[in-house]
Amino acid sequence: MPKTANNVPPPKRIARPGRLSFPGGLLLFAWLCLALPAAAQTPKNCASERYDSLLRRQNRSYAEGRDLLNRLVRERQASARPGGRTAEEKIIIPVVVHVVHDNISRNVGGPNNPNLSNAQIRSQIEVLNQDYQRRAGTPGFNTNPVGANVNIEFRLADRNPRGGTTSGITRNYNARATFSTSEMDLLADIVYWPSDRYLNIWVTDLAADFIGYAQFPDMTGLDGLAPENGLATTDGVVIDYTAFGVITDPDNRSVYKKGRTTTHEVGHWLGLLHTWGDILCDGEDCFCGEDFISDTPAAGEPNQSTECRELFSECTGVRTRNMTENFMDYSPDECMNVFTQGQKERIRQVLELSPRRKALVEWAKRPAPEREQLTVNLFPNPADPDDRIVNVELLLKGRQAVNITVFNSQGRPVHEQVYPSTSSTTATMYLQALHAGVYVVRISTPAETQIRRLVLLD
């Protein structure tokens, strides 16, 4: 069933997948499905509740851990002061994007190429930050009275698991053309970074009608709850390359080309459920599902269409409007711009209570190591021609003034960044205004100077 972006919506349907099994025990995933046959685009479907029920039947310790997490979150919600607000400390999430592709030429970027460009990948990180920070002047902003800035910043990792420098992007050739949604363990076998330090996002060509899925947080690893094999190594998000980042191809008319598929799936990774609680209410005796969020209206169904439209439900006996603009609905990308205050509180509680999520947040707070002498690394070098973004790792003793100057082949300064006082850090240079060529980068403190050669490719 080939994928295409030029399509029109067929009638609504609900995916009814069968049983999937995974080595080391069944895992719980939030499934975000998208059928893309040659002449039609089907809206998103999801079956996370079905897999949750199956998991609970077959994996007692994981089920106990999931129940414990939900109970602790509810207790935190019940004990919160009326009108109180969650602490506004910004939370940093280090991200590694694993591109898994079958492009034997290893060419990067271009139409229908699963080996996405760095610029395409960075556009997705920007969308995540717009959405989770409710940034003014971006598609992630809203004026909804319950709209919230979740205050999470996603950053491409600058250190790999061995402590070396990295762009936060790995590229992994594999002869397989596609991966099914029962093969996340195979993706993890190809490449995986510790999930208690990084949010792993695998970007690949997903088979059939899925464009993404994510693993929910859990409480395995606590005393009395034995960890299950595979839960850590598959802990992350998988996104089809056709829905990752901001797609600017004017011929692409997909409604999922603005990066919100990843926003949605990362929401599941952070512990959010769908706004309709994964229970479809078709009759009078059906009570709508629970998403454990007090300020998202009860909904009887998702906005499973390719239109920004209003839906209404009578879950509580009163007709209320569904929050179809919520990132955890199935609306087209251009319609979604809301996380609520309740969703924010649940996310931040999960980050405190789920062991791997908490460990990741704490690891991200650790300062870069100090060095007795100025140590400098430039990467990538040569710089990616798509965006010409260069990272400068600076390892220092204590806090110092740092000056970074880029000189062209004639010895003229063409770019400068000044840091009056900084500890060890990674500075980012945006060099799109410079032409291809060889440059000299001078990095100076009051006592030391380092010189590096930098190549910008066409």
Active site residue ranges:
265
Q: How far, in Å, CA of 220 to CA of 446, rounded?
A: 50
Pairing of strands 320-321, 312-313: antiparallel
The span from the CA of 32 to the CA of 331, in Å, is 12
Give bridge partners of residue 312 from the DSSP assignment. 321
Nearest to 448 by CA among 400, 411, 393: 400
How many whole angstroms from its chain centre is CA 379? 23
Instruction: Identify whether the C-beta of residue 396 lies closer than 8 Å to the C-beta of residue 382.
Output: no
Q: What is the rounded CA–CA span in Å between residue 101 and residue 175?
A: 8
- Comparing CA positions, the residue from 325, 277, 327 lying closest to residue 127 is 327
Dig out the tokens for 304 from the structure: 């499973």
Per the CB < 8 A criterion, the answer to whether 263 and 210 are in contact is: no
For residue 192 the two structure tokens come to: 């995986």
Separation CA 108–CA 457 (nearest Å)? 14
Hey, what are 86's tokens?
């969650």
199 contacts 269 by C-beta, under 8 angstroms:
yes
The Cα 158–Cα 220 span in angstroms is: 28
Question: What is the amino acid identity at position 261?
Answer: T
CA–CA separation, 175 and 239 (whole Å)? 18
* Rounded alpha-carbon distances, angstroms, from residue 205 to 44, 115, 258: 17, 10, 18
